[in-house]
Chain A
Amino acid sequence: MSQNDTRAYLASARAWLAEQAPAYSGAARRGLSVEEDLALGRRWLHLKSEHGYAAITMPKIYGGGGGTEIEKVIFTNEENNYDLPTGYFGISLGMPVPMLLKYASEEVLRELVPPAIRGEQIWCQLFSEPAAGSDLAALTMRATPDGDGWRLNGQKLWTSWAQYSDWGVVVVRTDPTVPKHAGLTYFYVDMKSPGVEVRVIPKLAGESEINEVFFNDVFVPDAQRMGGVGGGFKVAMETLMIERYAVSDEAVGGISVEKFVDLAMRTRINGQPALADGEVRRLIADTVAERQGLRSIHRRAMAAIAAGTEPGPEGAIRKLLGARRRQQVSAVAMDLLGVDGVIMTEGAQPTEDFTESWIESPPLRIAGGSDEILRNTIAEKVLGLPQDHRPDKGIPFNKLS
């Protein structure tokens, strides 16, 4: 895509968003129940699909935009400037549905992809279990052959948006007699199947997207298998990496540094303007400088994508730095707000409210790869350092203590 093309695309996306997004974001969301907000989100996705802005890189025949990766990145960047109800569909359209495009038949795609792109249906990702989070391959949920399909038994945990999901992708153990990575298989499953039970898990604060999902003799046709029997771990890893470049907003869903600066301008510390305080200045400087570095990384990644090459590995630091930064900046913002910083405002969004931004930050450091796992990944995959000692390597799963 030429520079002129990207500029033109950006201009029209920006204009379209300026016209359409306000009716679906910010004030339009205030005071809505989760159900109402989700309904608004579905309408927003539907509208986008009519204008080629939903699932931008997916084929038009399924309701996608038929566009390029760089267009998707440009549009998402702009869309993130509005506080839109898109969170419900992030996983659905980010991972399971793109995986379907790789693995499912034409017939299945025509049936299942368009409703997902229009927001009529939601897909979830059923990977983690009570004893398998960072260590996904330790999962124990079983699938046993039954006629032309499989019976699923066991429990998934932390499944985001399962309570609203119509479909899910799931990794299960089909062979416990081989080492842990080798005995897994990957399926897509109808969440309305008999035997599926979803229970919401309240979070420490805020509306909860996380669930536990119980499978009690749930039948899945073998036709819904994605990848080979025993090849599930590979497909799971592919899922986690299918988003070539995930565009996250700069403040990781919390308050922006501009809002923090604004607060520092109107508060005082020991009688002096907070903005004159050395420590406050250092935090602002560090935060802005870090963001600048991340912006450069992001821009270079966009250029690489536009040129059809791979972005560098440095993008991996974004989530690690961003989530911790949000927690830290929000806490200092509360310090500046003072004693009344403890007050929680009904219906406040973490993008606008410092206290909300702080209290909802811990899950970000765990979901989608914890801080520690991200550091390990950088050390091992980027820096080429040796892997930790793995005492369970090569041992059949059912022989592990």
Chain B
Amino acid sequence: MTTTEERPERSVPKPAFTDAEAGAKEFPDSGPSARHYNYFKPAKRKQTHYEDVTVEVQPDPRHYLTQGWIYGFADGSRGYPLTWTKLKAWGVDEPEPERGPGSGGKPVENWPAHGWHEFRDPNEEWELTMYRYNANVVRQINQNVENARNAKAFDQWSQNWVRFVERNVGAWMHIEHILGLYVFAANNRSGPTNMHNTAMAVNSEHKIRFAQDLALYNLTLTEEIEGFDGAAHLDAWNNDPAWQGARKVCEALPAIRDDWGESIFATNVVFEPLIGELFRSNLVMQVAARNGDYVTPTVVGAGEYDFDQRDLRWTVACFAPLTQDREFADHNKELMNGWLQHWVPQCLEAARTMQPLWSQADAKPPRFEDSLDKAKNRFAGILADLGLETPKELSQ
């Protein structure tokens, strides 16, 4: 016999018809023209979705911050000081509005008050785009590696090529990791606007992901290839003279004192083309196929794409306007030229210490000098995009 148990009536909230839908009534602000974020001026005529979720989330006392910043560091600095880079954008030397008893809020009159707020990430990155992009990359890499595994593609690798990948492609993961965490993530606290800081955070994601892509690829190879030494990358990174130059200059980047502008500039404008692309594009991508390796270029190529299509784009959009700044163009150019003088020789010296890597594989890549020339040309092109002259140090 079955009985239906009597249960007390379940307590649930009751839906009610409220008609609280757009357009249900007419009153001040009910129209379509009131339905957009109206506290900033978009960069172009049409306000973008990216701008809506990014602009002005980080306050600026020159805009609306009536009560000012409410926490300070021990040295008295507060919020996001514009002095955390020596670069300047127009308007920054204008004094902050002074507020006090009876002053009112002093909201911004001439938007955007200073030139830093003109920056927009050309990649328009926010959460939706960054997950889509990176999820696609890791899916693609997983598939490529999985296909290669199934096709026994690694069997064709020569001993020398195995050594090259375990040591050198392996060593590169450390550079991506250091730049990702200790340059890009580290500086996402320092930029003058939310647009800058989010762009740095997204750049950091690419780097950290790429470092892990390389580490996990290394793990797969350890499992797939008899005799592949998964710890050899540590030996190369710690002990191989061919890597110590790159390591030294890479470690110098997080040591830059208190200037997010120099950190990003030195990394994405100087280090990346002269060391990063030299190794990734002009060595690994050139030599792998000749040595029967069709897989490594797809893993490394993802990192190449990150830099070329995304990270360099925002960097140029960030720095190029500063060399044309209506108030501080000369100041900024002088500063950037100083950075070039400092970083270019170090990077070239490091590049030269990497030369032995060009002769390790059986099937040889292009000559080192040709690879370096390509990297230098690329670098000179980036400088031209930024409105900077090629420094004489480049001919060294």
Partners in one complex: no
